[in-house]
Amino acid sequence: MLTAAPAGGRPFMMTGNPVTKAIKLTLTEDEAEIIVDALEADMEGYLESAKEARGNANREDVKTFSEAAERIGALINKVRALLD
């Protein structure tokens, strides 16, 4: 199922079960920082979309966008932990 796109962003794909296959990447610290910056911008879009959906009383979109922002936040923390 594809939901509405967050403000200025790509649609978030919900499949019910997140993919759990692990992959390995080799990145420089600069590349990891670029990824963190991009993820932060993406997360801000989802948080803004959740806020707009809340204002429109669209609970399903609030839940979808909030979950996306939480997953992105967890990934940001995971990448940052590797940089510390």
Count structural domains, the chain: 1
What is the C-alpha to C-alpha distance for residues 33 and 21, in angstroms, rounded to an integer? 23
Residue 13 within any structural domain of the chain? no
Locate 12 and state its tokens: 């978030």
Domain extent, residue 51, equals: 29-83
Q: Which residues contact 3 (CB under 8 A, 6 or more apart)?
A: 11, 12, 14, 60, 61, 64, 65
| pLDDT for the residue 20 | 79
Residue 14 within any structural domain of the chain? no
Per-residue pLDDT tens for 36-63?
999 999 999 999 999 999 999 999 999 9
Q: What are phi and psi of 66, to 5 degrees?
A: -65, -45
Residue 47 within any structural domain of the chain? yes
Least confident of 12-16, 21-25, 28-32, 61-65: 12-16
**15, 31 Cβ separation under 8 angstroms:** no
Residue 17 within any structural domain of the chain? no
